Amino acid sequence: MNQYSIDNVTALINGVRVEDFAEGDDVLVAQRINDAITHKVGADGQMTIAISPDKSGEIILKVMQSSPVNFQLYSFIQAAQAGNFTPIVFQMIDSQLQDIINGTVGFIPNLAPMTRGQGVNENEWRLVFEKLYIKGGAITVSGVGAIVGSVLGAQIG
């Protein structure tokens, strides 16, 4: 039988662990912004492909309104608007499935919408990266220290 648990996922933003994910099956979504390969078909039916060097991507991150990461992400935008831009680095590893996400030279285009009410709400953040690497089953390690070290040192493409 196969299994999965979010407890095996470690996500870091500039070295700070992401805590208090929102509920649901899509609390972390990573994807490239543009196609990696495009094609053209000529009048004679022959196809040519172009392999893009563009590795830009985005991460959608959903956390509870009480998550400490909200303050960190708000601070990035406030600092950038004050002229003190700090690039964001994102790392994630699933120690069970060996999936890795690594985003470099990132920024947040806008604040997460703020919703308040009687119950607990979630904040949805969009992070955009110059380079976003997504790899499944990349490494075999044990222990959180080794996992984080492997993510920080991983050269994946």
DSSP string covering the chain, please?
-----GGGEEEEETTEEP--B-SSS-SEEEEESS-SEEEEE-TTS-EEEEE-----EEEEEEEETT-HHHHHHHHHHHHHHTT----EEEEEEETTTTEEEEEEEEE-SSPPPP--SSS--EEEEEEEEEEEEEESS-----SHHHHHHHHHH----
Assign domain 6-153 one CATH number from 3.30.2030, 2.40.30, 2.30.30, 1.25.40.
2.40.30
What is the residue-level pLDDT of the chain in tens, covering all 157 positions? 777 788 889 999 999 999 999 999 999 999 999 999 999 999 999 999 999 999 999 999 999 999 999 999 999 999 999 999 999 999 999 888 888 999 999 999 999 988 888 988 999 999 999 999 999 874 444 445 555 555 555 544 4
CB 95 within 8 A of CB 12: no
Q: Where are the domains of the chain?
A: 6-153
The residue type of 11 is A
Task: Return the number of other C-beta atoms located less than 10 Å from residue 32's C-beta.
Answer: 16
Query: Rounded to an integer, what distance in angstroms lies between the CA atom of residue 46 and that of residue 35?
Result: 20
The reported pTM is 0.80
Task: Return the number of other C-beta atoms located less than 10 Å from residue 89's C-beta.
Answer: 16
